[in-house]
Structure 1
Amino acid sequence: MEKIQLSLLFKIIGIGSASGLLFQNNTILAIGDNSSYLYEYQTETSKLQRHPLAENPQENTPKAFKPDFEAITQYADSIYIFGSGSTENRNFMVQVDSKTKEVIKTQDLTDLYLTMQSFAKIAPEDFNIEGVIYNGETWFFFNRGNGKTAKNVVFTVEGKNLVNEFQIISNEYKLPKIKGVRTSFTDAILVDDKIYFLASAENSNSTYDDGEVLGSIIGRIDVKKMKIDFTQKISDTHKFEGITLYKKSSNEIEFLLCEDNDTEVLEADIYQLKLKTK
């Protein structure tokens, strides 16, 4: 897993601080951590649509009030979008119809997030959900260990719902460093029985305040063992915060990555990452 190729594939005007994305049928669905919209971008026509996720949606919400949507995942006919849980107003999940892009429901996940913090002994100020995977039976939540205690944790959650009937298992990971700074989870995707994850190094020990970006890695976790198969640095300068499957063949897998530019500029760069699997 040594041969990689990273290149800029799309530049989307109208999306800022991209934090998660999905790809299907020549369409990119993206969220931004400053925004309360779901963005739909047609790669063949460059057409961009905005779908509100809340009443009175904004594209550059003031930091203290933003829902901080950091994770997006899809199963069957539903898209699920999650707040990071890093402050009290960031605890919401929005379920969206994948066909109409209309909001089905919004749920407060405060109890789930508090249980995760207690279960893994993560202080509230170090809690920061940046990626979520759902396979129809099990949820995987990725806590970004960019707080003082650097707890990179994957929560495996099962149950009838995420509000009051769930069971949790947690696995903590010590990820590689870049320039002396520990990398931390920023997103993940399930491909077959493997989890491919992104992690970035940022010179800050706060889940709230941004720091100097030192680079990003990609890695893979075996779902059955929940052990890391490999990690590899993919950039010295980018903070990649979203990953989705683009193409897959017998000897290569391709992802689309999005980058959080930590500014109010409404412009998103979407990168293509190729990995040789044989």
Structure 2
Amino acid sequence: MLYKYLFCIAFAITFLSACKSNEPVTATTEPPALSRMKSIKLESAILNKHDIKQIPSASGMEHVQENYYVLSDDSPFLYQLNNKYELVQKYTLFDTSSFKGGRIPKSEKPDLEGMAHFTYGRDEMLLLLGSGASQSRNKGYLVNLSDKMKVQEVDFTRFYTFLKQILKIEQEGILNLEGIAIDNTYAYLLQRPSGSNTNVLFRFNADDFKDFLMRNGDLPVAAVYYFNLPAIGNNNAGFSGAYILGDKLFVTASVEDTPNAIDDGEVLGSFIGVIDLLALPYAMNAANPLAVPSTQILNADGSTYKVKAESLVVTETQKDKKYKVVVVTDDDQGSSELIEVELKMDR
């Protein structure tokens, strides 16, 4: 009897408390992965700058076995630098006859914009990827680091047609693949948008992607994610390079005043951003792209670094969530620069 009496009192108190509020009780807690990504705060500072005059229009970079490999979208060579950023060797990727003037003519160049390191069996490989912005840019190259830098040309027309179908692209100059990163689980490919379009990240199973690449296998299944990057004035930043470290994808992005993926425009600035890969399930809505935590690259005096950041590697992880990042840049005039950046991450 006493139990029933106490139960009735407890029920009455709960009922009266609920009546005092006109607002329904709702769950407001975000998923942990999404909350973590939204809480990331980045700061960057340029530590050093290095001219790499021998390399025109650097566009991609990888760090393998104490060497930096640098790609150029205006050159038929792959460049090898040591840890002091000194040119050690350059390797011919394709015919050099159109390189007599120091830069390949825009209409002829394969526009190699992305580079990724991966292993295949016992071999260490580099994949160099054309942007896909036109028919002449539908090719790429495989370089076997374990077999005397053997070079193999790859036709990506079938693959790029597949990506265009996913993005519903019907004209040239819209597809613009600018970054790629591969780990043991996935391959990530970045689409840089033109105008006000959205930045896109494609993800593929790594084994399926390698099978397609190395054996001309079936097209790999693509998962598609959408991201928003900062703007400078009326121009949004677009993906330009990627580097994977653990569960984070570090990206470079630049802001260029140009209407398409082929013509150059005024460079307004560049950013470094970080995508928490565990948050990818919350970036599947094209109408609501996920914001990428980013920091603008500034000169030591606080002025805007008005050069295109094209690619990056994370060479050192320090205490207090600090990273040493090496960024390769292009001024669109045929010159290249390599900058060392300290990236601080708070959340």
TM-score by length of structure 2 reads: 0.74
- After superposition, where does 1:182-261 map in structure 2 within 5 Å? 182-226=236-280, 228=291, 230-235=293-298, 236=304, 237-251=306-320, 252-261=322-331
How many matched pairs? 275
Q: Which residue of 1 aligns with 2:336?
A: 268
- After superposition, where does 1:119-134 map in structure 2 within 5 Å? 119-123=166-170, 124-134=172-182
Q: Which residue of 2 aligns with 1:86?
A: 133
- Contact 1:91 1:113 (8 Å CA) reproduced: yes
SS in 2 for 1:113: helix
- Alpha carbons of structure 1 residues 240 and 178: separation in structure 2 relative to 1, 3 Å: same
Deviation at 1:112, TM superposition (A): 1.1
Deviation at 1:229, TM superposition (A): 5.5
Q: Gaps spanning 5+ residues in structure 2: where?
A: 1-40, 284-290, 299-303
What amino acid does structure 1 have at the position aligned with 2:116?
T
- Alpha carbons of structure 1 residues 101 and 72: separation in structure 2 relative to 1, 3 Å: farther
Q: Which residue of 2 aligns with 1:39?
A: 79
CA distance in 2, matches of 1:101, 1:17: 26
CA distance in 2, matches of 1:152, 1:255: 22
Larger mean Cα displacement after TM superposition, 202-211 or 97-106:
97-106
CA distance in 2, matches of 1:202, 1:104: 32
- Contact 1:94 1:103 (8 Å CA) reproduced: no
What amino acid does structure 1 have at the position aligned with 2:186?
T
Q: Aligned to 1:140, which of 188, 202, 208?
A: 188
SS in 2 for 1:82: strand
CA distance in 1, matches of 2:198, 2:168: 9
- Contact 2:247 2:277 (8 Å CA) reproduced: yes
Deviation at 1:104, TM superposition (A): 4.4
- Contact 2:42 2:294 (8 Å CA) reproduced: no
Q: Which residue of 2 aligns with 1:65?
A: 108
Say which structure is richer in strand: 1
Deviation at 1:18, TM superposition (A): 0.4
Report the aligned-residue RMSD. 2.0
Q: Which residue of 2 aligns with 1:153?
A: 200
Deviations 1:13-70 (A, max 9, x none): 3101000111244422101101121101123482431101123463521110001110
- Alpha carbons of structure 1 residues 45 and 81: separation in structure 2 relative to 1, 3 Å: closer
- Alpha carbons of structure 1 residues 41 and 101: separation in structure 2 relative to 1, 3 Å: farther
Q: Gaps spanning 5+ residues in structure 1: where?
A: none
- Alpha carbons of structure 1 residues 45 and 18: separation in structure 2 relative to 1, 3 Å: closer
- Contact 1:36 1:67 (8 Å CA) reproduced: no
Q: Which residue of 2 aligns with 1:109?
A: 156
SS in 2 for 1:275: strand
Alignment of 1:177 with 2:217, yes or no, is no
CA distance in 2, matches of 1:203, 1:44: 34
Say which structure is richer in helix: 2
Q: Which residue of 2 aligns with 1:53?
A: 93
Larger mean Cα displacement after TM superposition, 42-51 or 161-170:
42-51
CA distance in 1, matches of 2:186, 2:137: 22
What amino acid does structure 2 have at the position aligned with 1:231?
S
Q: Which residue of 2 aligns with 1:167?
A: 221
SS in 1 for 2:52: strand
SS in 1 for 2:62: strand
SS in 2 for 1:167: coil
- Contact 2:196 2:236 (8 Å CA) reproduced: no
What amino acid does structure 1 have at the position aligned with 2:43?
K
- Contact 1:126 1:148 (8 Å CA) reproduced: no
Q: Aligned to 1:20, which of 15, 36, 60?
A: 60
Larger mean Cα displacement after TM superposition, 98-107 or 178-187:
98-107
What amino acid does structure 1 have at the position aligned with 2:164?
Q
- Contact 2:79 2:87 (8 Å CA) reproduced: no
Deviations 1:101-149 (A, max 9, x none): 523422111111111111122343211000011113421110111x245
TM-score by length of structure 1 reads: 0.91
Structure ID, larger Rg: 2
SS in 2 for 1:112: helix
CA distance in 2, matches of 1:180, 1:148: 9
Larger mean Cα displacement after TM superposition, 227-236 or 181-190:
227-236
SS in 2 for 1:161: helix
Q: Aligned to 1:3, which of 24, 43, 68?
A: 43
